[in-house]
Amino acid sequence: MRRTWPKHKQAVEGLQMRRAVVFFAVLALAGCTTQGQHGAGGPAGRRTGIKLGMVTDVGGLGDKSFNDSANRGLQIAKAKDGAIVTVLQSRSVTDYEPNLSALATEGNALIFAIGFLMHDSLDSVAPRFPRTHFAIVDSIVDRPNVTSITFKEEESSFLAGALAGLVTKKGAVGFLGGIQSPLIEKFQAGFTAGVKSTDPAARVIVKYTGSFEDVGAGKEYATLLFRDADIVYAAAGKCGLGVIDEVKSLPRGDYVIGVDSDQDGLAPGKVLTSALKRVDNAVVQLADDAAHGHPPGGHIALGLKQGGVALTDFAYTKNVLPPGAVATLAAYRSAIIGGRFSVPSTLKELSAFNPPHLSARH
Amino acid sequence: MNSALAIATTVAGIAILKSTPLIYAALGGVISENAGVVNIGLEGMMAGGAFAAVLASYYTHSLPAAVIAGAFVGGALALVLAYFAIALRANQIIVGMALNVFAVGAAALLLTVLFGQPGTSPEVRSFSSIASSSGPGIAATLHYALVWMALGLVLCAHVILYRTRVGLHLRAVGEQPRAAAVAGIDVMKIRYVATVLGGVLAGLGGAYLSVGEVDLYSDGMVAGRGFIALAAVIFGKWTPLGSFGACLFFGLFSSLQIALQRATVPAQLLEMLPYALTIVALAGFIGRSRPPASDGVPYEP
């Protein structure tokens, strides 16, 4: 399912807006570091469903990427099941624990902790609220009342890399990460392996911005990367928006590959594809489980096979793909799903990686 | 050889992009601190300016309006600082910090209220978008209009501070406000004007960040630049030209950090260096770095 963003004003319910205004104003004045977006599950008086909470990581809502994707999932749950949704944003890592505790105290049945940065905070909050169920995305917290959801980002990144290898004319592609961490390394390893599979001679230039928020830095890194490369894959949160802004002013033939959410429409024709991470689907699924019984608990790893990660379908860029590219990608995809080779998820595995030979390769 | 030159050009280009917002904010800091008001709120004024510029561009589609809006909001925030710090003689550091938190929070609130999408604004008409829609030449100049303006303002500030009567009065107010008052200078008025002017400049730096470099406002996009500008003020010994040099130096280092970054070398090392040098400068190893004598001290007539 594809959803596009409302480019401009979204309809906001009057009540919701007034509450948000009061809430924000109080926080801004008090110098508090969290901000919230409270939403009622429908017109007042209607029977409302399960109470769902979510704590964003420091990237926050509006990253048009990871946190937004999770929020979309919650909004779907709200529309579908009449869930009451509360989103708390974190301004710094010290906000995680208070935010998680606040939502648990408010009586939410299921609370989503979005991002691996929240691992330690959730690990200490979860035992204090044994009757509340938590879910963490991108990390594994081993507690009975926590469901851990991870994604095989290396698999979608591999397909993105394979596509970049097929499309590049300069024989060089760029990878721009945010803060260096095992998570972002999965993107880097998978992407590099993909490039090496379709264009073994291509160079992959790797840079890290050291931030997930600094849009300007994303643009500056992009300026440098596009000097040598003609395709840049950005796994750097809001920094990726700077990369997309940069590519708008470049001549045809330079492309960005988006990440997490569908970013293809942010610069139509210039965003080759986006490596989707369907946090929204996972959130909807889990909310559904919670509403109709019990969330599963334990660890769930979602890859291409489970529909947890995917590439977008080239809505704006079909005409620039070389002939056979879509078929080649499909062949790699089914090979990964069929377990015919495994995609490296760390730099160590990457150095031992041998590009697979597929019959569908041209 | 040719490619080395090409890389040098790219690095220099990024250094200028990196330096420009710092130059605006640092210049604002230099002017207010020379008049005796410490402006810790530069970060918030940049955020306010960045957001206002996007807002103005969104509603009017006019870049001059965007730049003016950025300057106006930066100045308005500085007026709050001026009122508390000058009229009420509040602690300037605390008021500045409060403004930082307020401006960022207010921008986040307005993003949700006006655009209905928290965190990031829609894309708006920006300097880079006019560069890509028209041909090269004029467009490139326009694209960098805010960069050129920063250079012009540095020269203006230098001339005004050191070659005019107004500049002399301003520095006198920052050094010996009591003596200045005895000489017939209106200390309060000069401090007000200098602080607001400082905020206007920080707001311009914010406008550069949002509509000059990219085409949107996003929470956290100022990313500590206001504080880096404060370091540049100190490193530049509270002079326009010195701070300008410090900003270029900081920009160059960030840019080198981008270019030289390898997986094996921790990127943070090069990035840290300018600030380590600021501490060295403060410790007095690179000549004396002395603030104006009454910098940060409320004036009580």
Partner residues linked to A113 by β-bridges: A55, A136
For chain B, where are the alpha helices, taking DSSP H only? 2-34, 42-60, 63-82, 92-110, 127-133, 138-143, 145-163, 165-175, 177-182, 187-207, 225-235, 240-260, 267-282
- Is residue A205 packed enough to be buried (19+ CB in 10 Å), middle (13-18) or exposed (0-12)? middle
Nearest to A333, CA basis, from A309, A302, A301, A362? A309
Task: Give the pair of three-digit tokens for residue A167.
Answer: 């499309």
Q: Specify the range with the lowest mean pLDDT, choosing from A109-123, A211-225, A287-301, B230-244.
A: A287-301
Interval A224-246 mean pLDDT: 93
Q: What is the mean pLDDT of residues A114-124?
A: 92
Whole-model pTM over 0.90:
no
* Cβ-Cβ contacts under 8 Å for A137 (sequence gap 6 or more): A70, A112, A113, A114, A115, A116, A149, A150, A151, A279, A282
User: Taking 80 as the threshold, does the pLDDT of residue A187 lie above it?
Assistant: yes
Quickly state the pLDDT bin for A351 (edges 50, 70, 90): very high
Cβ–Cβ below 8 Å for B214 and A64:
no
DSSP character string of B113-158: IIIS-SSBPPP---HHHHHHHS-TTHHHHHHTHHHHHHHHHHHHHH
B window 114-143, beta carbon within 8 A of A: 114-120, 122-123, 128-129, 131-132
With cut-offs at 50, 70 and 90, classify the pLDDT of residue A27.
Answer: very low
Residue, of A293 and A120, whose pLDDT is higher? A120
Closest residue by Cα to residue A295 from A308, A303, A285:
A285
* Secondary structure (DSSP) of A157-201: HHHHHHHHHHH-SSSEEEEEESS-SHHHHHHHHHHHHHHHHH-TT
Give the position of tokens 């009342």.
A145
Interface test with B, best of A3, A19, A74, A248 (most B CBs within 10 A): A248
pLDDT in tens, B81-135: 999 999 999 999 999 999 999 999 999 899 989 987 778 899 898 887 776 655 4
Nearest CB partner across the interface for A216, out of B108, B221, B259: B221
Average pLDDT over residues A2-18: 41
Residues of A in contact with B106 (CB under 8 A): 28
CATH of B11-282, one of 1.10.3470, 3.30.70, 1.20.1070, 3.40.50: 1.10.3470
> Which chain B residue lies closest to A180 (C-alpha atoms)?
B263
Q: Which residues contact A172 (CB under 8 A, 6 or more apart)?
A: A202, A203, A204, A205, A228, A229, A230
pLDDT digits (tens, 9 = 90+) for A49-67: 889 999 998 777 877 777 8
Contacts of A42 (CB under 8 A, 6+ apart): A48, A82
Q: How many angstroms separate the CA atoms of A357 and A341, rounded?
A: 10
Domain range summary for chain B, segments of one domain joined by +? 11-282
- The yes/no answer to whether this complex scores an ipTM above 0.95 is no
- Angle at CA B196, nearest 5°, toward B191 and B201? 125
The overall average pLDDT reported for chain A is: 84
Domains, in order of start, for chain A: 14-151+279-302 (3.40.50.2300), 154-274+323-351 (3.40.50.2300)
Q: Is residue B240 a contact partner of residue B27, using CB atoms and an 8 Å limit?
A: yes
The answer to whether A41 touches A82, Cβ cutoff 8 Å, is yes
CA distance A135 to chain B (A): 23
CB within 8 Å: A227 and B113:
no
What span, in angstroms and rounded, lies between the C-alpha atoms of B78 and B81? 5
Q: What is the pLDDT of residues A63-117, one digit of tens each?
A: 777 788 899 999 998 888 888 999 998 888 889 999 999 999 999 999 999 988 8
B105, B209, B215 member nearest A24 (Cβ): B105
What pLDDT score does A3 carry?
Answer: 42
Exposed / middle / buried, residue A117 (Cβ in 10 Å: 0-12, 13-18, 19+): buried
Mean pLDDT check: name the lowest of A45-59, A213-227, A278-292.
A45-59
CA dihedral A344, A348, A352, A356 (to 10 degrees): 10
